Amino acid sequence: MRKLIFLPAAILAAAMLSTAVNAQGPDGPGGPDGHGWHHHHRGGALMHELKELNLTSAQQTSVKAVFKSAHEQLKSQFEAVRTQRQALDAATPGSAAFQTAATSLAQAESTAASARVQEEASVRTQVYNLLTSAQQSQLATLQAQHQAKVAAWQAQHAQAQPSN
């Protein structure tokens, strides 16, 4: 069950960390450098769903700007977590410094998680507002299909788990 909660959280974090949204342009998938929409892991389910909406180039540019802004706003939080993680790794287990570093890391992780969730909500709202009403309807359909696939996967794997 814990893995099932962590996976969507990891996907959402990946969406927030994505710094660019590239779409298929005249040079093929992802543009001239060959990177972009076909990398499904880069932005999680939302990016995959946006790909299906055939965004205009203006929408693509706006979405890219939204994600870049979100990444920049969260950068300091993630740097604080990294710094606290390094302090914990440098401390000797069992020492007072280790306990202090663990407490500081826990606080930094908590603050970063809260900021990430708030920023994710903001990003989703901003992106949704960039869509036409037809795209919003199509997005709702795509999200429902994705949720159905996740539920089917969860049901399949729940049956495979031995009961205790």
Q: Where are the domains of the chain?
A: 2-160
For residue 40, report the phi and psi dihedrals to the nearest 5 degrees: -60, -25
Say if CB 48 and CB 18 are below 8 A apart. no
> Residue 136 and residue 43: Cα distance in Å, rounded?
18
51 Ramachandran zone, left/alpha/beta (phi>0; psi -120 to 50): alpha
Quickly tell me which residue has 């440098």 as its tokens: 90
Tell me the pTM: 0.62
Cα–Cα distance, 41 to 39 (Å, whole number) = 6
CA 68 to CA 85: how far, in whole Å? Answer: 25
Q: CA-CA distance, 71 to 18, in Å (whole number)?
A: 7
Determine the 3-state secondary structure of 38 from DSSP: coil
Which pLDDT tens digit goes with each residue over 115-151?
999 998 999 999 999 999 999 999 999 989 989 999 9
pLDDT values of the chain reduced to their tens digit, one per residue, 164 residues: 444 444 444 444 444 444 333 333 444 444 444 444 433 344 567 778 888 898 999 999 999 999 999 999 899 989 999 999 999 999 999 999 999 999 999 999 999 999 999 998 999 999 999 999 999 999 999 989 989 999 999 998 888 776 65
